Chain A
Amino acid sequence: VAPALNTPPEHVEEWEGEDVTLRDVERALCRLREVAAEETEGPDLRTSVMTHLAWVPDEWHEAAMETLAGLGERHPSRGIVLSPEADAPDGVDAKVSILTFPLKKQRRHVAAEVIELRLRGRLAQAPASIVTPLLVVDLPVFLRWRGRPSFGAPEVEQLVDVCDRLVVDSREWPDVPHAYGELPFDRAACSDIAWRRTEPWRVALADLWPGIAELRELAVEGPRCEAMLLAGWLRSRIGRDVKLEHREAVQLERISVDGEEVPHPPGDPPSGSELLSAELDQFGRDPVYEEAAREAMA
């Protein structure tokens, strides 16, 4: 109901190092916390809701940091951004930041921690051993994987084992619907930002029930993955074979069922930060998505 606050951090403390150890990172975190508390004249609250891991190959770096900037305040937990650089000499470079956000009507601040790690050389294939000591104890771990994960590759398998929830965006995948078949539903709760984008349209389609109980054909103008997921969702929910007619567009623009246009949902499409934020608010498996993804391949 309530929108997230949207104020910039009042204070940022940073530390950077090359060829660092995890102990260096932990020391830096402690020191920055103390400095930030002094600078903001009061103890900062470390809000512990989760650890947010992000696997961000170089080509996604800019987009990922933009999304994270919008998230810092909404989910002020520990964020760990992993950037792999397999071709470089072995080692870890780190940048640690403490972002402090003012609490309304109070002197205290809430602090978010962001640890950016560049995993060079062979370390890019052993991310779990680096990440595990940095996880906040006994809290859920969300892993946002940028781009198409190579399921079966050691870095993917290790991080899937570490996380409670894997968050992907199948819009970033070139090979849907085939790729849905590789999602590790049995090992971690999986969520897909592309699926979240279809939500307003799913609400609009649900409003048409029972008129669409006998639906035969769905026409979607929008990204391929979202069209596939919507068709998969309808197939799985109403138990019928639904034929999909797809026209590519950047956003979900238009949907028709058996030739009848569905009213466009109200409101602007949510931002990347808002979409990821919604995923981070969700715990546990999403069986409706899992069925939709399976049926998308039908």
Chain B
Amino acid sequence: MTEVAENPLLEGLRPRRAPEPCVLVVFGASGDLTRRKIFPALYALAHRRLLPEQFAVVGVARTESTDDEFRDRMEHAVREFGRDDLKQDVWDWLAQGTRYLAADFAEEGAEDRLVALLTELDEERGTRGNRVYYLAIPPQMMPTGVEMIGKHRTSDGWTRLIVEKPFGHDLESARRLTELISSDFTEEEVFRIDHYLGKETVQNMLALRFANGIFEPIWNRQFIDHVQITVAESIGIEGRAAFYEQAGAIRDIFQNHMLQLVALTAMEPPIDFTADSVRNEKVKVMKAIHTPGPKHVVRGQYGLGFVEGKEVPGYRDEEGVAPDSMTETFVAAKLFVDNWRWADTPFYVRTGKRLARRETTIAIQFQRAPHPPFEETATEELRPNLLLVGVQPDEGVSLAIAAKVPGQGMRLRTVHMDFLYGGAFRTELPEAYERLLLDAMLGDQTLFTRSDEVEEQWAIVDAIVAPWRRDRPSFPNYAAGTWGPAAADELIRRDGREWLRH
């Protein structure tokens, strides 16, 4: 509004989300994330003219490579993983501002070389000292990276820090990392990525809840029987044994993506859509999550099995995994959010690798109609109303309702009314990283996690894993290609409920 008041010509024009000139510095540029996600996202932004005119990218990694070799690799990556066909003029524009620096920051002189390169780019590309540092590096290298950036931050322009997950490995390490970062950066300069928040369908959860008058009045314990959230992957650990052995499903998915989905489902309406309003509400949910006791948590590890018709090895037979590994590849839990809206309403959550199929869904199971005036036989195929939010791969919303089966008599059956994202809006959904990279360049933190949010998430995880040190479950306890261990079914069944049918 202020902008329009100051410039009457802006009224009625669609607001442009144009970032200021800047250099994006990617630490860990030889890694998979840069190839599969960051560069394809940058290309998609360039393709849509969403990057600033004065822009440069510096890839930093230990691997020896030249600028040209790096550009070639990234061009191939964009061709392979990008959502648009590569247009040569767009790529040439992006490549022109792309540099590579082979550097090990434990070595003397590496920092100076980076500073010199960035200063050179400021002059050459007009990037005005503005920096976005993307830390796509292993957790153990995080302190060195943060310290180095803090030491050399420019006095001209702004600095922003994008930090990839995992943000610590428990509450204590997360606090230490926050402390380290906050010695050189303010909270407004730190962008902790959880790429799930960049997904269109995750954001659609906010639209669904807070832009539709029909859902919010019944979005509570009075009308909702329970909530089920599933983050299922059919893939295994994809060569990430070193990381996964330390993390397991609880740190890889549960601590971040899963708890974010719980928070978005359970949060109160924020007063506006600014970063702090949204994050304040999410933090309240995290604080209200009741720590589940050991009998409300099931962990599992996959054994040999079949996924999509192919035989796949058990977790302990994956390359780089200890033959007696006790790392969990599956977690299911029954959570409670202790507040007026949700008291006594269970949130059943489950996540795992090598499950029957790739699927992320939030299922809101409503209570049964109190007294359907039909004969019992008429309603035997009837299930309670269910609102299913598909995050991936079938992005959309489906509402299960009861309908009469055509013909004589009164037989009822559950039918689904579908809203498919791709059906209503015939545009390609932007990749999460496109949205998040652009938001970081714009300084918009709404879809990034705040330090107190991360700490609350770790507090929940710490409480769950504390008893795990004392017992040794019998792993593997589920076959690859199934829906997890039998104990997960038992977890929900003893409450008289079932996991959603697939």
Which of B10, B426, B427, B428 has the most A CB atoms < 10 Å from its CB?
Answer: B426
Query: Are A210 and B426 closer than 8 Å at their CB atoms?
Result: no
Query: Are A4 and B427 closer than 8 Å at their CB atoms?
Result: yes
Would you call B7 an interface residue if the criterion is a C-beta within 8 Å of the partner chain's C-beta atoms?
yes
Chain A contacts of B422 at CB under 8 A?
Answer: 103-104, 106, 110
**Min CB distance, A139 to chain B, in Å?**
12
**Min CB distance, B371 to chain A, in Å?**
31
Query: Are B428 and A5 closer than 8 Å at their CB atoms?
Result: yes
CA distance A209 to B430 in the complex (A): 32
**Min CB distance, B425 to chain A, in Å?**
9
**Min CB distance, B460 to chain A, in Å?**
33
Closest B residue by C-beta to A74: B426
**Min CB distance, A212 to chain B, in Å?**
8
Chain A contacts of B9 at CB under 8 A?
Answer: 202, 205-206, 209, 212, 234, 237-238
Q: A5-B428, A74-B426 are in contact. Are A209 and B12 (CB under 8 A)?
A: no
Would you call B459 an interface residue if the criterion is a C-beta within 8 Å of the partner chain's C-beta atoms?
no
List 15 additional A-B contacts (Cβ < 8 Å) besides A106-B394, A267-B49: A3-B427, A4-B427, A5-B428, A75-B426, A101-B426, A103-B423, A199-B13, A202-B9, A203-B13, A209-B6, A237-B9, A237-B11, A238-B8, A238-B9, A289-B12
**Min CB distance, A48 to chain B, in Å?**
8
5 closest pairs, A vs B, by CB? A288-B12, A206-B9, A2-B427, A209-B7, A237-B8
Q: CB-CB contacts of A196-223 with B at 8 A, as 1s and 0s?
A: 0001001101100110100000000000
Would you call B48 an interface residue if the criterion is a C-beta within 8 Å of the partner chain's C-beta atoms?
yes
A273-291, CB < 8 A from B: 286-289
Would you call A45 an interface residue if the criterion is a C-beta within 8 Å of the partner chain's C-beta atoms?
yes
Tell me which of A47, A108, A205, A266 contacts B424 (CB under 8 A): A47
Closest A residue by C-beta to B424: A47
Query: Which A residues are within 8 Å of any B CB, using their own CB?
Result: 1-5, 45, 47, 49, 73-76, 101, 103-106, 108, 110, 199, 202-203, 205-206, 209-210, 212, 234, 237-238, 266-267, 286-289
CA distance A105 to B48 in the complex (A): 24
B1-60, CB < 8 A from A: 6-13, 16, 48-50
The 27 listed contacts between A and B (C-beta, < 8 Å) are A2-B427, A2-B429, A4-B427, A5-B427, A45-B423, A47-B423, A47-B424, A49-B424, A76-B423, A103-B423, A104-B422, A104-B428, A106-B394, A108-B420, A110-B422, A202-B9, A203-B13, A209-B7, A209-B9, A237-B8, A237-B9, A237-B11, A238-B9, A266-B49, A267-B49, A286-B12, A288-B12
CA distance A234 to B7 in the complex (A): 12
CA distance A32 to B485 in the complex (A): 47
Chain B contacts of A1 at CB under 8 A?
Answer: 48, 50, 430
Query: Are B12 and A206 closer than 8 Å at their CB atoms?
Result: no
Query: Are B13 and A45 closer than 8 Å at their CB atoms?
Result: no
Query: Are B420 and A103 closer than 8 Å at their CB atoms?
Result: yes
**Min CB distance, A60 to chain B, in Å?**
25
CA distance A110 to B426 in the complex (A): 9
Chain A contacts of B16 at CB under 8 A?
Answer: 203
Chain A contacts of B429 at CB under 8 A?
Answer: 2
Would you call B393 an interface residue if the criterion is a C-beta within 8 Å of the partner chain's C-beta atoms?
yes
Would you call B418 an interface residue if the criterion is a C-beta within 8 Å of the partner chain's C-beta atoms?
yes
**Min CB distance, B55 to chain A, in Å?**
14
**Min CB distance, B355 to chain A, in Å?**
18
Chain B contacts of A3 at CB under 8 A?
Answer: 48, 427-428
Chain A contacts of B11 at CB under 8 A?
Answer: 237, 288
Chain A contacts of B424 at CB under 8 A?
Answer: 47, 49
Query: Are B48 and A45 closer than 8 Å at their CB atoms?
Result: no
Chain A contacts of B423 at CB under 8 A?
Answer: 45, 47, 76, 103, 108, 110
